[in-house]
Each structure stands twice: as C-alpha cells, then as structure tokens.
Amino acid sequence: MRIALVGNPNAGKSSVFNRLTGMQQKVGNFPGVTVDRKSGSMALGDGTTAQIVDLPGLYSVYPHTPDQAVALDVLLAPAHPDYPDAVVYVADAQDLERHLLLFTQILDLGFPAWLCLNQADLAGKEGTNFKLNVLEKAFGVPVFQTNGRSGEGLPALKQSLRSAFGEAEPGPHAPKAFRPPAQEAAALLSRLPRTDSPDAAYRLLLQARHRKRLPKLLEEQRLVLDRAVQDSGLDPLDLQVQETMARYDKLGPILARAVQQRGREARNRSTQFDRIMTHPVIGTGIFFLVLLLIFQALFAWAAIPMDAIDGVFARLREGLHAVLPQGWASNLLADGLVPGIGGVLIFIPQITLLFLLIGLMEETGYMARAVYLSDNLMRRFGLNGRSFVSLISGVACAVPAIMSARSIHNTRERLATIFVTPFMPCSARLPVYVVLIAFAVPERSVLGGLLNLQGLMLFGLYMLGTMVALASAWLVKRFTGGGNGSFLLLELPDYRMPDWRNVGLTVWEKVRVFVVDAGKIIVVISMVLWALSSYGPGTAMADARAEVVLEHPEWSAETLAYQQEARALRESWAGRMGRAIEPAIAPLGFDWKIGIALITSFAAREVFVGTMATIYGAGSEDVSRLSEAMARDSHPETGQPVYTTATAVSLLLFYAFAMQCMSTLAIVRRETGSWRIPMVQLVYMTGLAYLSSLMAYQLMA
C-alpha cells in the first residue's frame, strides 16, 4: 500500500510526514532524476505497513519547477513506481482557499484522499472555526484538523487510514468531482484517445498540457498528444487560467459555509514585523548581522565540542601506541585509522551548527525574506533571489545546494547558479581554512574583544568566495547574453516558531550523510595515504634515515629523529608522487609535501588536513600540533621555512577556488544532463585557483 503526501510548499507536509513515519525514513531520489524522495513506513495495525511518500510541494497541477514536474509525473503516470494508491493532502488551515485549489485537482484525478487542515489550532486561536462536516460533505472525503508540530489530530488520521486499508476498498470515500465544464477543452479532448472515465479524461488533458515535462510519458504517447494539441489550436495557458478560476468559483461558496473567519492577527503581525526585517537599510543590516553570526558561531561556538573530540582522539592515539606492540598493524590503527576517523568526527559540531542555523532560517520564514533582500543584488549578476538559497546552502555543501537550484524557474539562471555555487566556501574547505588560518593569523581579539582576528579572516575568506561566485555569474551573464525570461515570484510566509523536531531531523540527516558519504572517502584515503607515506621502493626509506645520521652526527636526538622521518617521507611512494608534480607547483610556493595533499584532496578537499597530518605525523584531530609541525618544516637545501605567510595565503587561495570535489562534479553532471558544464567548471575553477595562487605568492614572496 502506497500513500502519497501531497500539498503546497510550506503547508507543513514535512512535519506531518515526520509524525506519521517517525524515524522510519529513507531519503533517496525519484527514479531517473535527482529530486529528493523522502519515504517512510507507517504500521497499519494488522501487521501490514503502508509506505508514505512525501512528494515535492506543488501549488497546482501546473508545475513551475523541475521538482514540481516530478511530483506531477508521479500523480499522472499509473506505471510510475511511486504511483500512489491514495493521497493524504496537507492544507494550511490558515490559507485554506489557496491550498484547496490543488486538492480539488487531486480529487479529479480520482485518488482516494484524506484532507488534513494543518495548523488548524493556530487558526483557531485567531478565532477561525472550521465545520468539518460541511467540508466532508462537499468533498466526499474524511477531513481532520491536524498539527504536524504537536501531533494533534494525527492519531485520528492514522486510525482512519488503518480502518480504510483494512477494508477491501479504501475508505468511506465518495470524492466529489470539481472538474470545470469540459467545453473549453472539448476541441482537444476530441483529438485524444477516447475514454469514458472523467478521471482518465482529466489525466489525459494534463498529460497533453505537460507532455514535454513528464519523463515517464512514452515517446509514442507524447507524439499523439503533440499532434492533438497542435490540431486543436487551443491556448494551453488560457485553458489553465479558465480551469483555475472555475475551481476558485466552486470553492468560494463551500468555504463560506465551512469556515468562520475572524482575525488575521498572525498575518498582520508578520506584515508589521516585515517593516523592520525587509527595510532596505535596517533589514539589509540585520541580514548581514545574521550572516556574521553564522560565521562567528562556526568558528567560536563550535570550538568547545571540537576541542573535546580533539582531546579524545589524541588520547586514543597515544593510548594505542602505549598498549599495542610495535608493528605495521598497530601503526595502521593508531596513525592511519584513528586519525582518519578523528578527521571526520571533528567537523560534526560545525556541520551541525551550520545546518541548525540554516534550518532555523527556513523554519522561521526568514529565508524568504533573505531571498527578497538579495534578489536585486543577485539579478545584477545574472542570478535570481532564489539563487541566494543555493549559494547560502553552498556554504554547507555544494551537493544539496546545487540540487536546491531546481526551484529556479529560468533555465539560464539555474545553470548559472549551478556553475558558481561550488565557489561558495563549503564546510569541506573549513578544515583547510582552520589549519592555515591558525598557522598564518595570530589569535588576537579586536574591537575590544568583540571579534576574533582569526574569525575575521575566516569571514573575509567566505566573502571572497561569495564575491568570486558573483563575479563568475556576471561573466556567465555576459557570455550567454542572460537576462531574458528572468522573474521573481515569491510568497512571504508568516513568521513562526521553528519546529525543533523538523530542524533536528534535518540536521541529523545532513550530519549522517557527511559522516557516511564524505567520511568513507576520508577514512579510506587517510589509510591509503598512511600506507603510501609509510612505505617506499626497496630500502630507499631506510637508506635515507641512515644518510641523515652519517651526514649530521652533531644534531640532537630530537632533531635527528625529525629530519630522519622527513627524509624517509621524501623517499616514500607518496613523496615520489609529490616530487613528480613539484615543478608545476613550485611557482605557487608549494613543495612536494603540499603536492601530495593536492593530489589526494582532488577527490575531496577536506582530505588536505588528514594528508598533512599523516605526512607530519601530527594526527588530523590536532590542529595546533599540525600547525606547529608545519611551522618547524624547512627546506633541506636552504634551511628556509617551507611555510611562510605567502605560502599560506597562496594555499588558501588555491583551496578557495579550485574544483576539488568529485561529488560536486557528479551532481552537476546529473543536474545538467551532460559532462559539458562540470568539465568547464573543473578547468575554469582550477585555472583560476592556479593563477590567483601564482600571483599572490609571487607578489608576497
């Protein structure tokens, strides 16, 4: 049994979904497309379970974005693997008329349906009352007052679903038809395959209207629909407007009988609050303060749990060396695996905080205001206010950020957003920034202790990434003659208290994906690197150690041990790889050790810290030890330090701009349908990284 959860965006569908399915959820993709597919199971009581599929939010059966088209594809194609047996429709009770437009269309598609008036309690507090029996009679389906946040009304809904699916035929349903008079569409219908079922006829009309956007439609069906639309000479937009207005005309009298509405206090309060929050000067100032707060939180607040994780892994590593007998297995465990796992877990606090803050912006309704405030700036660079959501999400991770660009209607703006989003300073760059900033920038308070100098440097890097993303978008606009067809149509929802359960589940999912997906790569690469830097051809490494003792017998034991390891590393497999690319990277101030890190972090840039920690034997969980080891390192021939401020700045710029993420390239390929854009991205970003590092190093050194 499959039940689809359908409703407008911001109707509270996710809260209802979370309540119905609990933690029994899976996040994946709809078949063949990269649109998020959330599904979960709900026990029906008789030992069977129903699969609940949360479809992307739709305003009507006339989709505006690719993910809305996927939702429609599921509802229109009985052959679709996610085609539902029934629909639970979630409508925001505070704006029932608009939310019921799609509901009447769902009824006309012939689905058994349950209607949830979500957040009815909030509407009730403002004096709005609902006569459920009037709605049930009008629509012919069970109606419930629910609140996805508190769970109110959902046990009754579950009970109704259980009793309905326990029967041979679902439910006490007699859905009423809301189909508008067919005469407008008669010309088109007469040219389509004949059907006696009104539901099937409506389905055919919609398939004809959206034939170019429905992936599950067969090519021969598409050709038949194409011909029918051309022969009928019907204006599809006209048909849509007529249908929509006819539905509103039918809904009006029903709602007049069923809803007693008094105040709109929450709406008025939000509009009043917006006079401050969307003020061109005050609102923009607040917006930048929010961004600054996020960056300071990532650098300052996250430090406490990070230090705790740091300590645990440092003690674990030392403990393993003390307890286990010397040998390759104990070295692999203590110097390869443990630092690798530590290098993943250390970033959980920052990722948690970032997604918590982004989740709060979305839940409270502030994200829509951020889109409003940023649209004018974004459009100057050939983007859209909605691009802001992708760009700000790109601060966490480019992969979901690129997927979120689906909500941008204009194809050129969408592709431009996808193209520039990887420039945004994602969380994977954070470890690299942390290490290099700790090395190059003194830890000092400024502005009377209000701000931290290292935090300001981090803020500067984030601003740099953002500015380069915008400048690149402007270049895209210049070269593609952008601007046509661009528009913004944005609803500004009421401000509301966040649903902590929703925010918590989102944060949990993002952290899980980071630990499982990115973590696997980091741990494996850390172990491979340990092997490559621990072994070399023949006796090369042992010979190198012996040479140091012979050449410098006067050195202290500590210096000798350090120089022996450095020389041995140079002769290892990893050292040989780094030396092979050294001529190309030397003008940037990078030596062969950095070369190793560049090679390994091509797949995922966060591997840089783990690589450097492995090379310097510092343990990737210990940023200060790594910085100290880097500061001590010197060129064997000249004795000059390898890492200077110029090297650190050059490296920071390289990591700020280079495309070093296989997952991002893969997701861009899937979102754009070809390798063209990801390949252009790879060449453009890496070329820009090389040139800017070269200029910075040559000027500063």
Partner 1 sequence: MLVDLGCRPGQTVRLERRGLFGSPLYLCIGDRRMALRSEEARLLLLEPLVPAPASGDRMVASAS
Scan residues 249-268 and list those touching partner 1 (CB under 8 A).
Answer: 264, 267
Task: Name the maximum alpha-carbon separation found in the chain.
Answer: 101
**Is the dihedral angle over the CA atoms 452, 454, 459, 464 positive or is it negative?**
positive
Q: Between 41 and 271, name the residue whose CB sits nearer to partner 1.
A: 271
Stretch that binds partner 1, among 145-153, 372-380, 447-455, 550-558 (CB under 8 A): 372-380
Residue 271 interacts with partner 1 (CB under 8 A): yes or no: yes
Residue 276 interacts with partner 1 (CB under 8 A): yes or no: no
Report the residue from 226, 235, 318, 491 that binds partner 1 according to the rule CB under 8 A. Answer: 491
Of the CA atoms within 13 Å of residue 63, those in its CB half-sphere come to 27
Residue 59 interacts with partner 1 (CB under 8 A): yes or no: yes
Q: Between 64 and 520, name the residue whose CB sits nearer to partner 1.
A: 64
Stretch that binds partner 1, among 223-231, 279-287, 434-442, 626-634 (CB under 8 A): 279-287
Backbone angles phi, psi at 363, to 5 degrees: -65, -35
Report the residue from 10, 60, 452, 614 that binds partner 1 according to the rule CB under 8 A. Answer: 60
Q: Which helix (H) or strand (E) holds 43?
A: strand 36-43
x-marked contacts with partner 1 along 520-559 as a string, rule CB under 8 A: ----------------------------------------
Shortest distance (Å) from residue 271 CB to partner 1: 6
Q: Which letter does DSSP use for residue 193 in this model?
A: P
Question: At a CB cut-off of 8 Å and minimum separation 6, what does 463 contact?
Answer: none
Report the residue from 241, 282, 542, 683 that binds partner 1 according to the rule CB under 8 A. Answer: 241
What the block records as the tokens of 455 is: 């935090």
What the block records as the tokens of 6 is: 């359908």
What the block records as the tokens of 437 is: 């900033």
Q: Between 271 and 330, name the residue whose CB sits nearer to partner 1.
A: 271
Shortest distance (Å) from residue 279 CB to partner 1: 7
Stretch that binds partner 1, among 121-129, 338-346, 484-492, 651-659 (CB under 8 A): 484-492
Residue 269 interacts with partner 1 (CB under 8 A): yes or no: no
682/474 Cα distance (integer angstroms): 18
Do 662 and 682 meet the contact criterion of CB atoms below 8 Å apart? no
Residue 375 interacts with partner 1 (CB under 8 A): yes or no: yes
423/15 Cα distance (integer angstroms): 33
Report the residue from 297, 337, 360, 488 that binds partner 1 according to the rule CB under 8 A. Answer: 488
**Radius of gyration for the chain, computed over Cα atoms and rounded to the nearest angstrom:** 30
- Residues comprising the chain, all counted: 701
Report the residue from 85, 126, 274, 633 that binds partner 1 according to the rule CB under 8 A. Answer: 274
Q: What is the size of the binding site for partner 1 (CB under 8 A)?
A: 39
Stretch that binds partner 1, among 23-31, 237-245, 340-348, 599-607 (CB under 8 A): 237-245
Stretch that binds partner 1, among 145-153, 275-283, 474-482, 513-521 (CB under 8 A): 275-283
Q: Between 98 and 545, name the residue whose CB sits nearer to partner 1.
A: 98
Q: Is 235 left (phi over 0), alpha (psi -120 to 50) or beta?
A: beta
Scan residues 135-174 and list those touching partner 1 (CB under 8 A).
Answer: none
> If you write DSSP's letter for every residue of 619-663 in order, what string do you get?
-TT-HHHHHHHHHH-B-TTT--BS--HHHHHHHHHHHHHS--BHH
Q: How far is CA 629 from the centre of its chain?
A: 35
Closest CA to 440 of 457, 461, 425, 459: 457
402 in helix, strand or coil? helix
Scan residues 65-124 and list those touching partner 1 (CB under 8 A).
Answer: 95, 97-98, 101
The residues binding partner 1 (CB under 8 A) are: 59-60, 62, 64, 95, 97-98, 101, 241, 244-245, 248, 264, 267, 270-271, 274-275, 278-281, 284, 368, 371-373, 375-377, 379, 385, 487-493
